[in-house]
Structure 1
Amino acid sequence: MARRTGRRPGNPDTRESILRAARETFAERGYEAASIRGIATSAGVDPALVHHYFGTKEQLFRACMDFPVDPAEVLPQVLAGEPAEIGERLVRFFLRVWDSPAGVAAVALMRSAVSNDWTARLLREFVTTQMIRHVLPKLTVDPADAPLRATLVASQMAGLAMVRYVLKLEPLASAPPEVVVAAVAPTSSGT
């Protein structure tokens, strides 16, 4: 019988334990106050193991949300170009994600956030730290007005998701994407 060499396989429940502890920590304390060390302690693991499985705190947070896209990769594309066209790029991208197979996960997340305070807190932290924080510096409005404008755009996108994908209210639910882009983009630019 041959002896196995190399690293011992990890406990398959370790990753889930870390995710569970991270979700609870992010929901209770918020993204900024959460720490890898605190999450590791809650999960009963070494902080190095958290880094091994997830990398950075931001990557761990995205894994907790199981969001279908990485805002850090997408937002620069949406925000690039003419400021007057941000609304169109945002709505077009939003529809592309929600109309794709990844949209199923987004619908589940939205439904869960509406019915569960804990999920709502996680989603709020996610939208605030992973999206709005990156958008604020790009808005071409008075900096004092930027936070309100960014959250108004978020409300427009959340409303669109709720009515088109969760409630499936017609005729919006089956409207072609270009019709939705033309109708919603002017109110979604944040500029």
Structure 2
Amino acid sequence: MLDAARSHFVERGYAGTRLRDVAADAGVDVALVHYFFRTKDLLFATAMELPIDPAEIVAELLDGSRDELALRMLGRFLDAWDAPGAADPLIALVRSASTHEPAAELLRGFVHHGVVGPLVVGLGVDDHERRAALVASQLLGLVLVRYVVRVEPVASDDRETVITALAPVITQHLFGHRPEPRPPQ
């Protein structure tokens, strides 16, 4: 099932992948895909070897103070990227997205449907598509600078420095105001 899912996600992108098509290519009933993976988000996370369940992350991020949302988001984001071996498939996806349209569609789809889009919709803010795209620009920019191109000093900054620097910008994108930066706990 995972091989079929990877193939569909790469060829058709996140939005174009249907669980019934993955099941058919894997030679199983779609109920089996639902049984093991529950949602397309979790299937994507598993197939792409992401160390997260997107729906779980969104729920976790929405549960708490809005003033500290960006701090929580960046902390979880860095946890996912800094986990041993976790970044390898993600770095490959980000690298290939600039030259391979299916990979770009996959990345766009995950941003829009996976974590950032549902998070912004869950906040109930206006202009949620623009806000989600702006937050994604910060997160993908961080990925490019810190993990792919490895631009110093950001590539070797400790997580608190990165979080403190970016949290006000992400808060601005989410809510239209910038809070006073507070160090992460």
Scaled to the shorter chain, the TM-score interval is 0.7 to 0.9
- What's the % identity of the aligned pairs? 44
Tell me the equivalent position of 2:178: none
Aligned residues: 172
The answer as to whether partners of 1:22 and 1:64 remain within 8 angstroms in 2 is yes
Query: Quick check: 161-170 or 86-95, which moved more?
Result: 86-95
Cross-structure match for 1:8: none
Residue 47 of structure 1 pairs with residue 30 of structure 2: yes
Structure 2: which 5+ residue stretches go unaligned?
A: 176-185
1:48 is displaced (CA, Å) by: 4.4
Tell me how far apart the structure 1 counterparts of residues 110 and 119 of structure 2 sit (CA, whole Å): 13
Q: Distance in 1 between matches of 2:37 and 2:77?
A: 26
CA distance in 2, matches of 1:28, 1:183: 36
Runs of 4+ residues deviating >6 angstroms: none
Provide the rounded CA distance (Å) in 2 between the counterparts of 1:181 and 1:63.
27
Partner of 2:90: 106
User: Structure 1: where are the runs of 5+ without partners?
Assistant: 1-17
CA distance in 2, matches of 1:62, 1:106: 10
What is the CA-CA distance between 1:186 and the residue it aligns to? 0.6
Residues 1:49 and 1:182: Cα distance change in structure 2 (over 3 Å): closer
Corresponding residue for 1:150? 132
Equivalence for 1:9: none
**C-alpha separation in 2, matches of 1:139 and 1:47:** 32
Q: Relative CO higher for 1 or 2, CA cutoff 8 Å, sep ≥ 6? A: 1
Aligned match of 2:162: 180
Max radius of gyration: which structure?
Answer: 1
Structure 2 residue 61 is the aligned partner of structure 1 residue 78: yes
Which TM-score applies when normalising by structure 2?
A: 0.76
Instruction: Give TM-score scaled by structure 1 length.
Output: 0.74
Partner of 1:97: 80
